[in-house]
Amino acid sequence: MKKILFVASECVPFIKTGGLADVVGSLPKCFNKEEYDVRVILPKYMCMKEEWKNKMNYLNHFYMDLAWRSQYVGILEMQYEGVQFYFIDNEYYFSGSKPYGNIFQDIEKFAFFSKAALSALPVIGFQPDIVHCHDWQTGLIPVYLKDKFHEGDFFRSMKSVITIHNLKFQGVWDMKTVRDITGLPIYYFAPDKLEAYGDANYLKGGIVYADAVTTVSDTYAEEIKTPFYGERLDGLMRARANCLSGIVNGIDYDEYNPETDTLIEKNYNIKNFRKEKIKNKRALQRDLGLEQDDRKFMIGIVSRLTDQKGFDLINYMMDEMCQLDIQLVVLGTGEERYENMFRHYAWKYQGKVSANIYYSEAMSHKVYAACDAFLMPSLFEPCGLSQLMSLRYGTVPIVRETGGLKDTVQPYNEYESTGTGFSFANYNAHEMLNTIKYAMSIFYDKRREWNKLIDRGMAADFSWSTSAKKYEELYQRL
């Protein structure tokens, strides 16, 4: 029996700010239970919902040295969907109305969490073969495993894997403070270890010391070896290329299933979508006050409204897009200028543009089910989950060929009648608009071809079980 420990700063259903939580929540339950004992350890944030906190059982507590401080470490546990979860409790670090706050507080908070997660293992009597860390918040774990913990028999043979969900976030702070917080010897703060550009970098430490490094798609694994995508760590990514691999994320096929989804107006499947899917479109047009018209090409966007997601391209082309025979439905929050941009166009083109500047899980399902196409022109996209959801719901993705978007959306080829979506290569607003126009021409003039695109998209398999098999192979190699 292989024992695996996932360590992360967020996880559905307990706490979520982004896609990381989906991965940590969905992946552990997809491993073969006969061969793998996969458990998860998380911080116990004060801002978690009471219903979860009430289900946790107190296991034990102890005091741990964090450099010169002595800190309380409480351990709680619960089972959820067949997976064993542990929660590290310390009210000093994990109070607050959201999981992340100011970076200088987070730097100390996640140094504490990384060391506490390892220190708790002998107390709970779980000795993993592999510790699987996620993003910069757990970047110190591979470092600690090679440092103090390496001296104890309990930890000596443990291997570590770090998964980079987004290289942009690295956990960077000044070296003196980080040395003081972590208690790591000065030896670790050299340019080939934790030091980067004069500061200490948690993610860099994890990448240097982990036994394997993964990221969330093959293309992104290649892209981050280049200066444009490498976020100033491209040299390190090239140096670690032999340990770096890409494994594309999945989505929960039970939760995102148009046949059983209780959040959408009308259920449908790959056999009957031609008749039934449209009923979701009518309902959304009605609810959002858009013009009631089955023939309108409806484009959906569900996203954080940031530069990374390509909103400067959309901003540049918005007036021209609104001249086309389309409807645009936007759901999400983010940078103020993009929130206001969509509000403005919703006012200017009433009945054509709907700006929903908030986030709601239920509403996102409605958008995936109702729209004809889904727009995602990202500047970079490590994996991306929205395009997988839109494929699942028979909503044709229009994406830029980067990272996971390139790996998961096969561009339409009208001569061979293949592909699951539409894509453009360069980060260019006119190229994006031309791709939207091309998709529209297929939608309006070649309806059978359009329906075949939907068929192929809904038949694609991006469930977690596929990804879990690849992680199993990686664990075997280690």
- What does the chain come to in residues? 478
Side chain identity at 365, as an amino acid letter?
H
Residue range 463-473: average pLDDT? 94
Residue range 213-235: average pLDDT? 97
Residue range 249-254: average pLDDT? 92
Using the predicted structure, report yes or no on whether residue 93 has a pLDDT greater than 90. Answer: yes
Task: For residue 301, give every residue at least 6 positions away whose Cβ sits within 8 Å of its Cβ, in sequence order, or none.
Answer: 314, 328, 329, 330, 331, 332, 374, 375, 376
Which tokens go with 13? 């259903």
What is the percentage of the chain residues whose pLDDT exceeds 90? 96
Specify the pLDDT at position 148: 85
Specify the pLDDT at position 147: 92
Specify the pLDDT at position 151: 87
Using the predicted structure, report yes or no on whether residue 17 has a pLDDT greater than 90. Answer: no
Q: At 289, is the pLDDT very low, low, confident or very high (cuts 50, 70, 90)? A: very high
Give the span between the Cα atoms of 14 and 268, in whole angstroms.
Answer: 30
pLDDT in tens, 41-75: 999 999 999 999 999 999 999 999 998 899 999 99
Q: At 19, is the pLDDT very low, low, confident or very high (cuts 50, 70, 90)? A: confident
pLDDT in tens, 168-181: 999 999 999 999 99
Task: For residue 220, give every residue at least 6 positions away whose Cβ sits within 8 Å of its Cβ, in sequence order, or none.
Answer: 229, 246, 380, 381, 382, 383, 403, 404
Phi, psi of 206 (to 5 degrees): -60, -40
Instruction: Give ranges for CATH 3.40.50.2000 in the chain.
Output: 2-250+464-477, 273-459
Residue range 324-334: average pLDDT? 96
| Right CATH for 273-459 from 3.40.50.300, 3.30.420.10, 3.40.640.10, 3.40.50.2000 | 3.40.50.2000
| Right CATH for 2-250+464-477 from 1.10.1050.10, 3.40.50.300, 3.40.50.620, 3.40.50.2000 | 3.40.50.2000
For all residues of the chain together, what is the average pLDDT? 96
pTM, full prediction: 0.93
Which tokens go with 158? 């443990």
399: β partners: 376, 423
Specify the pLDDT at position 357: 97
Using the predicted structure, report yes or no on whether residue 18 has a pLDDT greater than 90. Answer: no
Nearest to 195 by CA among 178, 180, 215: 178
C-beta atoms surrounding 35 within 10 Å: 11
Specify the pLDDT at position 161: 98
Specify the pLDDT at position 389: 97
Specify the pLDDT at position 317: 97
Give the span between the Cα atoms of 179 and 175, in whole angstroms.
Answer: 6
Side chain identity at 421, as an amino acid letter?
G
Specify the pLDDT at position 236: 97
Using the predicted structure, report yes or no on whether residue 98 has a pLDDT greater than 90. Answer: yes
Edge-to-edge strands, sheet with 195-196 = 172-174, 199-201, 195-196
Give the span between the Cα atoms of 243 and 7, in whole angstroms.
Answer: 20
Using the predicted structure, report yes or no on whether residue 334 has a pLDDT greater than 90. Answer: yes
Phi, psi of 338 (to 5 degrees): -80, -35
Using the predicted structure, report yes or no on whether residue 90 has a pLDDT greater than 90. Answer: yes
Task: For residue 326, give every residue at least 6 positions away whose Cβ sits within 8 Å of its Cβ, in sequence order, or none.
Answer: 296, 297, 298, 299, 352, 436, 440
